[in-house]
């Protein structure tokens, strides 16, 4: 995944580059508008993160030009201005999503993945996952257990996908909240991770997979133990 990061704050840019690299993105950094435009003209990108407050040529101008030259490139805009007018201006100029500074990296990553999924440009986000008796179609967000379709709510399918992507690794409640935020589903009372984990566990019965609770850390999806006892 080739990613353009147009951000003038060197500390933020360095931190983001390191985190994006470990999340599997190859990052080209532009510290100002002209460099961003140069890189966009020179190189092929799968996704771009553009700070609206860029020096020399501002992010909104870069975004408007980019939309004309790269109509399909997914763009997530960063803005320090938590103001409705800048959001509306950015959306009109063709941003796919927004992050208001300051933000947590897991939420940015979740939004990047969601934008890529919508753009259907991330092969990893569109591949099918088959583990034990479960088959999950990531593009269609459909789950099938031993040939039987399973009905999942949008939140449950996001949760299942997150657990599958991180199979055998702990997924924290923060990661779950970030994934839901990235999918645009609202977090409210009674919509907690616990509730959805409980429902998803029941739906996964018979799949050969189990969701283990890792006390104080989060949840982990794993193939059921051979003795059939839940973990």
Residue numbers at the binding site for Ca ion (CB under 5 A): 8, 51, 53
Q: Which is nearer to Ca ion, 34 or 53 (CB)?
A: 53
Cβ 72 to Ca ion, closest distance in Å?
Answer: 26
Q: Which is nearer to Ca ion, 10 or 230 (CB)?
A: 10
The residue assigned the tokens 């103001």 is: 83
Q: Which is nearer to Ca ion, 62 or 125 (CB)?
A: 62
Structure tokens, 76? 């997530």
Q: Which is nearer to Ca ion, 83 or 120 (CB)?
A: 83
Q: Which residues on adjacent β-strands are paired with residue 214?
A: 218
**Residues 23, 109: Cα–Cα separation, whole Å:** 8
Q: Which is nearer to Ca ion, 40 or 164 (CB)?
A: 40
**Cβ-based neighbours of 8, under 8 Å, separated by 6 or more:** 31, 32, 51, 53, 54, 55
Instruction: Provide the 3-class DSSP secondary structure of residue 144.
Output: strand
Burial of 206 by CB count in 10 Å (0-12 exposed, 13-18 middle, 19+ buried)?
middle
**Residues 34, 67: Cα–Cα separation, whole Å:** 16
Cβ 79 to Ca ion, closest distance in Å?
Answer: 9
Cβ 63 to Ca ion, closest distance in Å?
Answer: 14
**Residues 194, 219: Cα–Cα separation, whole Å:** 10
Cβ 12 to Ca ion, closest distance in Å?
Answer: 8
Residue least distant from Ca ion (Cβ): 53
Looking from the CA of 212 toward its CB, the CA atoms found within 13 Å total 18
DSSP label at 34?
H
Cβ 192 to Ca ion, closest distance in Å?
Answer: 35
């Amino acid at each position: 995944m080739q990613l353009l990061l147009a951000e003038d704050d060197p500390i933020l840019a360095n931190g983001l580059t390191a985190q994006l690299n470990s999340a599997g993105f190859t990052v080209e950094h532009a510290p100002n508008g002209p460099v961003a435009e140069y890189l966009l003209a020179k190189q092929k990108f799968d996704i771009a993160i553009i700070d609206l407050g860029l020096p020399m040529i501002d992010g909104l101008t870069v975004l408007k030009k980019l939309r004309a030259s790269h109509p399909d490139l997914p763009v997530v805009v960063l803005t320090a201005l938590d103001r409705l007018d800048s959001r509306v201006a950015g959306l009109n100029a063709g941003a796919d999503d927004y992050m208001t500074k300051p933000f947590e990296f897991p939420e940015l990553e979740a939004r990047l993945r969601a934008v890529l999924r919508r753009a259907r440009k991330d092969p990893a986000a569109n591949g099918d996952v088959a583990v034990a008796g479960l088959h999950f179609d990531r593009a269609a967000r459909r789950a099938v257990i031993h040939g039987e379709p399973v009905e999942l709510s949008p939140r449950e399918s996001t949760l299942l996908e997150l657990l599958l992507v991180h199979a055998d690794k702990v997924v924290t409640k923060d990661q779950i909240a970030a994934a839901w935020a990235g999918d645009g589903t609202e977090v409210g009372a009674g919509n907690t991770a616990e509730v959805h984990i409980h429902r998803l566990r029941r739906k996964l019965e018979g799949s050969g997979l189990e969701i283990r609770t890792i006390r104080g850390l989060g949840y982990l999806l794993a193939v059921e133990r051979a003795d059939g006892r839940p973990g």
